[in-house]
Structures are given as C-alpha cells and as structure tokens.
Structure 1
Amino acid sequence: MLRIALTKGRVEKKFIPLLQRCNIDCQPLIDKQRRLIINLGDQYQIILVKGEDVCTYLRKGAVDLGVVGSDVLEEQGADEQVNELLDLNTGRCQFIVASKSDFDWNQPRRKVIGTKYPNVARRWFASQGEDVEIIKIAGSVELAPLTGLADAIVDLTETGTTLRVNHLVVHDWLDVITSRLVANPVALKQKRDEIFALTNQLRQAMEEEYDEDLRKVTE
C-alpha cells in the first residue's frame, strides 16, 4: 500500500478528479467527514495534512508520496530527501508582489514586506538588488499594506479578486505555482513499481483531460 500525504483543502479537491480519471474509487475520500486517514481500496492510503507538513512526513519516512503546492517547495527549499516526480498542473496560481496603488516603489528607503513566504520574498528581492525587511504573517496578508504594517506583500493569487477588493495592485509577477507529486527517495527505491505505475496513470489522466479540453475548444 502506498501512503500519500495530501495537502487538505484546495489541493485535495483538485487532486480527487485526477485520481478518479485513473479509475481509483475516491468516494471514501469524498465522504471522509472528519477522518484524516482514508484508505482507497487496498492500494492507497491518503493522509490529509497541512501543506507545510507534507515534506516533513516525507523526510521522516512516514509516507511514500506527497501532493503539495510548489509554493511550499519553493519556501522550504528542495533537498535530497524529497524527489519531485510530476507537475500535476492543478491548483494553478501565481506568486505576486502587490501594494497599494499609491505606493512609491522608487523611494530610497528600505521597504517592509509582509508575507507567509519569507524565504521566497527574500530571494526575489535579493535578485532585484534590494535589501528589504521581511515580516512573516500567518493570516490575511492583504491587511499589511492597509494598516501600515508593511509597504507591500508577497503572496499567492488565483484570480486577483481579493487584491482588487482590498484596493491592492500587482507590482510584479514572481512565479507560477501548481501542485506537485513528490516522493521519499527511500520509498522510490523500495516501491518503485507501484510509485511509477501511479505516476504514469496520473500523467495519462492529465493528457486525456488536455485532449478533451482541446477538442471542446476546436469543436
């Protein structure tokens, strides 16, 4: 049985249709109620965790595979204990830098940036030749510029609606974020056939979905 740490919430909801396309019965996962460990037949065990914890479960060998946003991988940093197998191309959103529309980006003083992703933010501003003060925020990052806590934010956006509602504008686009299938390297050796069978099924399901979408556009 493959144990899979699945990021609960949006990543989970986008992953279920992919599993269903692989002819995997996901009804126990859909009907999970408050359960956090769900068996899908005798082949897969899903463990629902926070995105930030997926790589911890992998590194400690508690699970074989993980499904997590690439935002988490970028923030935590890649290492030899987590192998990326497949870009699932779901949960698509973007890292952005945003501020109030009247913020002057050309002013010489050191800028203050609010974010849930301090490492991503620090690296990006360093690549722009800027030394900034980073304030880590766990909750609604959009509040930081509105309250004067920070000059700008680094955050994820899917549609931009939350930014517009809070009168924030995008200053720059950092990176496209999608869900990824990742593996524990030890499990990759010990359960190679099972892991690559699932990986190939998921890849084929993605290709079929793409072909269907393409047909709809061209019809």
Structure 2
Amino acid sequence: MDYITIAVAKGRIANITIKKLEENGLIFSDFKNSRKLIFEDDNSKIKIILVKADDVPIYVEYGAADIGIVGKDTLLETDCDVYEIFDLGYGKCRFAIASLKDFEYKKGKKLRVATKYPNVAKDYFNKKKEPVEILKLNGSVELAPIVGISDVIVDIVETGTTLKENGLVILEEICPVSARLISNKASYKSKSDRIYEIVDCFRRHMNENDIC
C-alpha cells in the first residue's frame, strides 16, 4: 500500500490534526518537541508534512501531498486548483470588516481598506459594487484606522478581544472560517478510498460544536 501524504498548516491546526489522528490509533511518536517537518505512521502508511499555511494548497495542487489541511481563509485568498472536500470544523473564526467606533460610512464614498487578505476584501466589495482602495499590510492591520491610513480593515476575528482592546468594532461579518481538508485532483481519483478513510477518522471524533 502506497503512503498517502498530508500537508498540514503548522501551529494550532497541526496540533489539533495530529491529536485527532492519534485518537484513531495512528502514531506519530516524535511529533511533540520535535523540529522535524515530516512524520510517518508506518502501519497506516500516512505521512504528515508540516508547511506554512499559505503553502498548503500549493503542495497539494502540484502533487507533493495527496491531501492538505488548512484554514478556509487561505483557500479564499489563494487561487489553487484543488478539491475542497470536507469541513473539519476546528480552527473556527470569521472574516469581518471592522473600524473605529465613531466611523460613519457614507454610501458611494470610496473606502480605503487595510488587510492581509486583499483578494478576499476585493472580491467581497466587488460583489457589493462598492468602490474601494485596498492596502495590503503584513503586520497588525488594527493599527491602520487608528493612525488614519485606512477607513476600515478586513481581517480574521476569533474572539474580538484584539479589536476591542484597540478601540475597534465589527461593522459587518463576511463569512465563517474553519479548517478544511483539500485534495489533489489526481489523488482524489486514484486514492479516493484512502482519502475518505481519513475523512471518516475526523468525522468520528468531531466535537459537538464542530461544523460538519
């Protein structure tokens, strides 16, 4: 039986993913306290590779991994040719538009939007037919409206604490976000049985608050 390779976003998603797989009897004994990037379970013939979140869809699209686990935010921002096959339900948060408490939106006025997710922001405002200028930032976007370089921000929000501590409020929610399982298109055809065995592993151990 050939190995099936899973590209997983480093950090919280990787920790939850490994835990859920271990609940199904898989063993990645050297995962904890290791700087390794590749882990294998020889019995199940499953290989995990840890990569940056933005790179997961690329590894999957080009066949370095059969499947991948990454946040919906990354999938919305990138334009990779993969299948999205399952909502894993963990890593839940949401895309939202936020600004200072006293911000007043004037219909028809061109908004300046600061964000780490320019494609998500552009697509959302285009669908609403609202004119915007997108500022791509890599750091803390909450700072942009405070110092006056943007009217609003588009960002990932989990609890809203960071916004509140910086005097910002949510104006509008765009969409929910959670971890998704994606597949290489060729692998989906040639290894579909094995892929859905892994899907079943996650489904069996979904928490009652997970989305399905």
TM-score by length of 1: 0.88
Code of the aligned partner of 1:56: I
- In 2, Cα distance between the equivalents of 1:151 and 1:13? 36
Over the matched positions of the two proteins, sequence identity in percent amounts to 39
Distance 1:107 1:131, change over 3 A: closer
| Structure 1 position 85, deviation (Å) | 1.7
Correspondence for 1:5: 7
| Structure 1 position 68, deviation (Å) | 0.5
Secondary structure of the structure 2 residue equivalent to 1:102? coil
| Structure 1 position 109, deviation (Å) | 3.2
Of 102-111 and 2-11, the range deviating more from structure 2? 102-111
Structural mapping, 1:1-219, within 5 Å? 1-31=3-33, 33-42=34-43, 43-77=45-79, 81-106=81-106, 108-206=108-206, 209-210=207-208
| Structure 1 position 108, deviation (Å) | 4.8
Gaps of 5+ in 1: 214-219
**C-alpha offsets along residues 89-131 of structure 1, whole Å, 9 cap, x if unaligned?**
0000010000011111126531110111111111111222211
- In 1, Cα distance between the equivalents of 2:42 and 2:105? 55
Secondary structure of the structure 2 residue equivalent to 1:3? strand
Conservation of the 8 A alpha-carbon contact between 1:28 and 1:40: no
- In 2, Cα distance between the equivalents of 1:41 and 1:157? 38
| Structure 1 position 14, deviation (Å) | 2.4
Secondary structure of the structure 1 residue equivalent to 2:105? coil
RMSD: 1.6
- In 1, Cα distance between the equivalents of 2:75 and 2:186? 19
Gaps of 5+ in 2: none
Secondary structure of the structure 1 residue equivalent to 2:150? coil
Conservation of the 8 A alpha-carbon contact between 2:93 and 2:158: yes
More helix by share: 1
Code of the aligned partner of 1:44: I
TM-score by length of 2: 0.91
Conservation of the 8 A alpha-carbon contact between 1:110 and 1:133: yes
Code of the aligned partner of 1:112: R
